[in-house]
Chains A and B, each alone.
Chain A
Amino acid sequence: MRLLNKLMIFFLTGVILTACLGPLFLEHSPETQNLSRRLEPPSQTYWLGTDSLGRDMTSRILQGTRLSLLIGFSSTLIALLIGTITGAIAGFFRGRTEVLILGVIDFFGTFPTLLLAMLVSMATGRGLPGILISVALIAWLQHARLVRAQVIQARQLEYVEAARALGLNPYRILWVHILPNIKGPILISASAQIPSNVMAESFLSFLGLGVHPPFASLGTLASDGSRLITSHPHLIFAPGATLFLTLLAAQYLGDSIRDYWAEEKHPEGRESSVG
């Protein structure tokens, strides 16, 4: 499986590099329309064909990949920030604060995720901020729960007691002592969340709540393409396949990292599961 891990890392790096650097080498910009060459199948000039406005699909897909990855990363970052702050406070101070924060978490948990995302992105209007907020609002719960559980565990350990005995400010204990010690599982769950956030974004885009044209994420491209599926299947399957393979590689790596971590923590469990 080492080989597959390497392959996936290689592929993902390739996707990120191509998405970021590719446009420098392509002759067609993603926005240039060429109405005399609409809906062309893949050819030498247009590697992945052209869309209904004669725009080059290759450079549109590269742009879309960039946007999808950007949304995946930044929404995870926002969710991580909200989740860590609320979860850490709830876990460290306990008492009423915790009850309140848990109530908020529970409340967001009962919200059907899609409804929440739709409401937020409709209220903020189509565009990057709306998408980021709505995806992050779905995603932060998981972090908050995890961080809370980790902090509750950590605050009973001796180094926290020692820090307390030194009379340190509780916020200092939390941010300087506890958080760096529990960052492992948090970062792992965050890395697993990036692909699911990319997927959530593609889902919203499919419902027409994605970013503004002329910008398009992979989800927007694929859902635009779905209207012409009978006559021009490349319009949905080229961006769709890019999205799928990227997500697959990212999830595979996320799984591997998680397994590796579990192995480090509980080597005895891993041994018998292999045997």
Chain B
Amino acid sequence: MLGRRLLHSLLMLFLLLTSVFFLIRLIPGGPFESDRILAPEIQVQLETVFGLRDPLPIQYLNWLCSIARGELGVSFQQPEYTVRELIRLALPISLGLGSMALLVAFLLAVPIGVLSAYALENQRYRFLDQVIRILVLCATSVPGFLLAYGLVWVFSIQLGWLPPGLWAELLDRPAYWVLPTLTLALRPLALISRQIRGSTLEALRQDYIRTARAKGLSQPRVLLRHALRNAWIPVIGLFPPIAAQLLTGSFLVESIFQIPGLGRSFVNAVLNRDYFMVLGSTLVFGVVLIVANLGSEALLLWADPRTRRQESP
């Protein structure tokens, strides 16, 4: 079943790249039309060099051939690099930031979700669940750029604790990672903690929890060892939307904090009509989304034996 899904995903990826290839040519303006106007001859010359004067179907075939060879073309913005080299430089940064954000989100969301469910179960702490609910709602309601600038304003401009942007290796200067990671982590955090809260509540209603309580197990043990054990499984199903969120988030966070990751170079590439860079990044993003999709499905099969026998509808 996963094999068929993979084939389907690859077909979709191919369609995606093809449509991006043609759609991006529909955008008015070209890669060499900037504020400083080039002489027409130079522009023609440049376009000839990059093969942009061939008929579009020919260009498309050429590009497909180059992909088959594992080449992604050159970047118009930085012609000294190939797109593959640029991606190789930028992707690890984005992946590192994304996994860091995911880690932070997960580590914070699980206790928040469990606490929230526990509070709802006990009449005395009902207000705590409401407080958490509103905080989580705040997290989903705040536009990313506003959050980023809010954090910068408080922690960099007012307090001067953290750098407002730029980038350094995690081990050299962890301070540079704090604000981007927080900004990126907030949305997945909200998503995961909602899921954990819901599925913990669901689990607490089951018979095996009643049994555990009847045995006289302590409340934390029932929650963490028995309820959470089943409750975290649906979180795996959230990986695809989280991957999409992190992707979109990386465009924003990397642009605001001037991080040289793939998200920022992608936004710049689209705005500058850097055709091959856009296509190369789209390919990477598509692969990331497919991996998240199929990976979460495979993980679900592994984590929950009940899903193994079910046929997909």
> Residues of A with Cβ closer than 8 Å to B?
1, 106-107, 110-115, 118-119, 122-123, 125, 195, 199, 202-203, 206-208, 219, 222-223, 226, 229-230, 233, 236-237, 240, 243-244, 247-248, 251-252, 255, 272-274
Contact = CB atoms under 8 A, between A and B. Distances in A.
B157 A229 contact: yes
A24 to B, nearest CB: 29
Interface string B196-229: 0000010001000000000000000000000000
A206 B252 contact: yes
B219 to A, nearest CB: 16
Closest 3 CB pairs of A and B: A248-B141, A247-B141, A240-B146
A112 B20 CA distance: 11
Interface string B107-125: 0000000000000100000
B270 A119 contact: yes
Contact of B137 (A1, A255, A273): A255
A125 B27 CA distance: 8
B268 to A, nearest CB: 10
A219 B278 CA distance: 25
Contacts of B270: 115, 118-119, 122
A233 to B, nearest CB: 6
B143 A247 contact: yes
B244 interface: yes
Given A114-B248, A222-B145, A272 B205 contact: yes
B265 to A, nearest CB: 13
Interface in B20-50: 20, 23-24, 26-28
Interface string B222-264: 0000000000000000000000100110011001000000000
Contacts of A123: 23, 26-28
Given A110-B290, A206-B143, A243-B146, 18 more contacts: A110-B12, A110-B15, A110-B16, A110-B289, A112-B286, A114-B248, A115-B278, A118-B267, A119-B27, A206-B252, A240-B143, A240-B146, A244-B141, A244-B143, A244-B146, A247-B142, A255-B137, A274-B120
A146 to B, nearest CB: 15
B289 A112 contact: yes
26 contacts: A106-B8, A106-B12, A107-B15, A110-B13, A113-B244, A114-B247, A118-B271, A119-B24, A122-B28, A123-B23, A123-B27, A199-B143, A203-B144, A203-B145, A203-B248, A206-B145, A206-B252, A207-B271, A223-B145, A237-B153, A240-B149, A248-B141, A251-B141, A252-B137, A255-B137, A273-B120
Interface in B277-313: 278, 282, 285-286, 289-290
A207 B253 CA distance: 12
A215 B117 CA distance: 45
A202 B143 contact: yes
Contacts of B27: 119, 122-123
A273 B141 contact: no
A217 to B, nearest CB: 11
B248 A112 contact: yes
B87 interface: no
B130 interface: yes
A222 B146 contact: yes
A113 B248 contact: yes
Contacts of B77: none
Contacts of A243: 143, 146
A216 to B, nearest CB: 15
